[in-house]
Amino acid sequence: MGFIAESLATSAALIVSLDPEVFATVTTSLAVSSCAIVLAAVIGVPTGVAVGLHDFPLKRAVITLLNTLMAMPTVVVGLLLYGILSRQGPMGPLGLLFTPSAMVIGQTLLAVPIVANYTVGVVQGADPRILPTALTLGASPLQGVLQLVRQVRFGIIAALIAGFGRIIAEVGVAMMLGGNIRGYTRTMTTAIALETSKGEFAFGLALGMILMAVALVINLFLNTLQQR
Amino acid sequence: MTSIYDIHDLTVAFGGRTVLDVHRLAIGTGRLHILTGANGAGKSTLLSLLAFLTPPTSGKVAFDNAPVPWGSPSLFRLRRQVTLMHQFPYLFSGSVFDNVAYGLEVRGMAAAEQRHRVAEALAQTSLTGFERRNALKLSGGEVRRVAMARALALRPRVLLLDEPLANVDHETARLLEELIATLPKQGICVIMTTHEPNHADRLGGRTIHLVSGRVVQADGAAEGPEPVAIAAAPVHRIAATVSTL
């Protein structure tokens, strides 16, 4: 019990003193995951809107695929991308492996199915009068779809937050594609795994507390949105 | 006067079931046309078709003597001459002003002109001062009036009203009824559905009666430019013309 209390005190001190290593790790985590969620939004929201609005022969298959991809283990995504980005892989010459860019690519692939799938649900659950109302008021098809997105924006923001929650907390992609390089690709999750294995429990605990705080903020934001 | 809509051999089917089957129907400009019929007679489907929101399964629809380009990306340009007020109107989140100005905004109208048109439409519907009100916190009658203002602000050539007088308080019904009666004088072709048989008499409109998706009666049809055949039920492919005179 004394060990836990002592570690908690040390970790609190690390956070309060803005320890440079803790700060760098948190910054890398937030930067990589933020870039990834922006890219996932650019790909996933239009995909979800298109799938949600249109009926086409393979629609059920596409939704099943998105559901499956949502549950894909992060290490599997990391492994596949490792093969593609490693020196012998097709994208090896780009030299992306063990860079933040590789982590962004991996986390984007993790987040896209979540964002797209949630967006499909939001669009399918939207009031069926929205689009006809916009169209009969003179909206072009694109203007009509944009109005639909505006009306269901809180649901789409919730989808993005769910995606962000998944990638900020993942460890497989960050470890395999980032390589956990100190001050460069080390994220909160990879640092927790490493520092704990080295016996630096307090350091890991400090990062864990910050990660929990991020999760708390995300959930508070989600709750606020749901109440609107 | 010419017809604004000309319908020939039209059918609309959903899931293999034909819900509208009209051999011939011409609808004239600047008049009030009242669509009557029981629930499921095809009134709302016909309005949706006339609003260019539901394409026909077969047959031809002409607007202003030109065939309607169903499925074309440019269909929205035609849609901008017509507007449909749903039986249960959907108001977008935002203010009353945002809602009434939406159709003007998508047309790229200047902000000053938008404000003028919105103020005018709100005055017509006795909603002056409602501009900043939250559209999602209005009563049922106010929602109907905002939807009417939103349609009137566009100054459409054709105004399609799906049960505009149903499920509203007496005061709102009276206001809307008086407003609807004045619109044809402004050159707007109004086509409204109703269950009330006396609306045609009160509003001075012509009646198009639908039974099981077919036109079985069109008052004043004899004045139309085309010969008219109106049969009693059971009817097969009834021909009817609603004149514009």
pLDDT category of residue B244 using cuts at 50, 70 and 90: very low
In angstroms, rounded to a whole number, what is the distance separating the alpha carbons of residues B88 and B162? 8
Question: Tell me: the pLDDT tens digits for A150-201?
Answer: 999 999 999 999 999 999 999 999 999 999 999 999 999 999 999 889 988 8
Q: Verify whether the Cβ–Cβ distance B102 to A134 is below 8 Å.
A: yes
Dihedral sign computed on CA atoms, order B89, B94, B98, B103: negative
Of the candidate ranges A163-177, B2-16, B28-42, B225-239, the one whose mean pLDDT is the lowest: B225-239
Q: Which residues of B touch A (CB under 8 A)?
A: 48, 51, 53, 73, 76, 79-80, 82-84, 86, 88-90, 92-93, 102-103, 106-107, 150-151, 154
Q: Verify whether the Cβ–Cβ distance A140 to B150 is below 8 Å.
A: no
pLDDT category of residue B236 using cuts at 50, 70 and 90: very low
Dihedral sign computed on CA atoms, order B62, B63, B64, B69: negative
**CA within 13 Å, CB half, B107:** 23
A134 Cβ under 8 Å from any chain B Cβ: yes
* pLDDT value at residue B239: 31
* pLDDT value at residue A222: 77
| Higher-scoring residue by pLDDT: A11, A43 | A43
Give, rounded to a whole angstrom, the gap between the first and last alpha carbons of chain A. Answer: 43
In angstroms, rounded to a whole number, what is the distance separating the alpha carbons of residues B198 and B205? 10
Any alpha helices (H) in chain B, and if so which ranges?
43-50, 75-79, 96-106, 111-124, 140-152, 170-182, 199-203
Residue found under tokens 């098809």: A141
Dihedral sign computed on CA atoms, order B209, B224, B198, B171: positive
Does residue B224 have a pLDDT over 90? no
Element (DSSP H or E) covering residue B14 = strand B3-14
Regarding an ipTM greater than 0.90, the answer is no
What average pLDDT does the segment A58-74 reach? 94
What is the DSSP code (8-state) at residue A49? Answer: H
A149 Cβ under 8 Å from any chain B Cβ: no
What average pLDDT does the segment A203-227 reach? 84
Does residue B230 have a pLDDT over 60? no
Does residue B201 have a pLDDT over 80? no
Closest residue of chain B to A140, computed from CA coordinates: B76
Structural contact between residues B118 and B97, judged by C-beta atoms closer than 8 angstroms:
yes
What average pLDDT does the segment B73-83 reach? 94
What is the DSSP code (8-state) at residue B135? Answer: G
Question: Tell me: the pLDDT tens digits for B109-156?
Answer: 999 999 999 999 999 999 999 999 999 999 999 999 999 999 999 999
Q: Both tokens of residue B114?
A: 């938008």
* pLDDT value at residue B221: 43
Residue found under tokens 């922006």: A38
| Higher-scoring residue by pLDDT: B142, A217 | B142
Per CB-CB distance under 8 Å, the chain A contacts of B82 are 136
Q: Verify whether the Cβ–Cβ distance A136 to B92 is below 8 Å.
A: no
* pLDDT value at residue B228: 34
Structural contact between residues B116 and B104, judged by C-beta atoms closer than 8 angstroms:
no
Structural contact between residues A111 and A48, judged by C-beta atoms closer than 8 angstroms:
no
User: CA A138: distance to chain centroid?
Assistant: 37
Does residue A7 have a pLDDT over 50? yes
Cβ atoms within 10 A of the Cβ of A7, count?
17
* pLDDT value at residue A228: 64
Does residue B233 have a pLDDT over 60? no
Q: Both tokens of residue B236?
A: 């097969």
